[in-house]
């Protein structure tokens, strides 16, 4: 995977409404965040591959003070790190959907795409309440 914009595939995936990560064509490893070569085998052949919107909550925090230049959500908000089930080793940071159940590390979660005027982004909620 190369070229001036290694993240173009991420934007394409958001436009298509799919969750895609770069997968090595040579050895099948997932590579996240994107790098020009596969971390496992060194191959440059990587394809943005769509997968199921399922994961497990690795960790989370409730944010009371925003550091981002633009506000992304009303404070406080919960943002989490999700292990993606179908892509071992890949974690995605997601915002928790409002008014969903209290986050629990290790709980199964489902992801959903939200399109805002600023950006498209992935939300998570506990699978039991989805």
Report the C-alpha gap between 70 and 63 in whole angstroms. Answer: 14
Phi, psi of 8 (to 5 degrees): -55, -40
Q: What is the x/- site pattern for another protein, positions 85-124, by CB under 8 A?
A: ----xxxxxxx---------xx---------x-xxxxxx-
| Of 61, 98, 102, 129, the one binding another protein by CB under 8 A | 61
**Pair 62, 76: CB distance under 8 Å:** yes
If one asks whether residue 48 binds another protein (CB under 8 A), the answer comes out as no
**Pair 75, 64: CB distance under 8 Å:** yes
| Of 4, 64, 99, 117, the one binding another protein by CB under 8 A | 64
* Number of residues forming the site for another protein (CB under 8 A): 42
Strands 91-96 and 54-63: unpaired
- Taking the complex as a whole, the smallest distance from the CB of residue 48 to another protein amounts, in Å, to 14
Q: In sequence order, which residues have a C-beta less than 8 Å from that of residue 40 and are 6 or more positions away?
A: 24, 27, 29
- Taking the complex as a whole, the smallest distance from the CB of residue 53 to another protein amounts, in Å, to 15
- Taking the complex as a whole, the smallest distance from the CB of residue 99 to another protein amounts, in Å, to 16
**Pair 98, 71: CB distance under 8 Å:** no
Binding site for another protein (CB under 8 A): 6-7, 10-11, 32-35, 39, 58-68, 72-73, 77, 79-81, 89-95, 105-106, 116, 118-123
């Amino acid at each position: 995977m190369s070229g001036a914009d290694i993240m173009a595939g991420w934007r394409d995936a958001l436009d298509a409404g799919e969750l895609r990560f770069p997968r090595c064509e040579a050895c099948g490893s997932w590579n996240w965040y994107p790098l020009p070569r596969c971390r496992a085998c060194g191959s440059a052949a990587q394809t943005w591959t769509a997968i199921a919107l399922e994961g497990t909550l690795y960790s989370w925090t409730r944010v009371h003070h925003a550091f981002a230049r633009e506000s992304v959500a009303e404070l406080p908000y919960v943002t989490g790190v999700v292990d993606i089930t179908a892509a071992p080793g890949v974690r995605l940071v997601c915002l928790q959907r409002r008014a969903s159940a209290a986050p629990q590390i290790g709980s199964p979660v489902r992801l959903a795409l939200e399109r805002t005027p600023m950006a498209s982004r992935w939300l998570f909620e506990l699978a039991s309440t989805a």
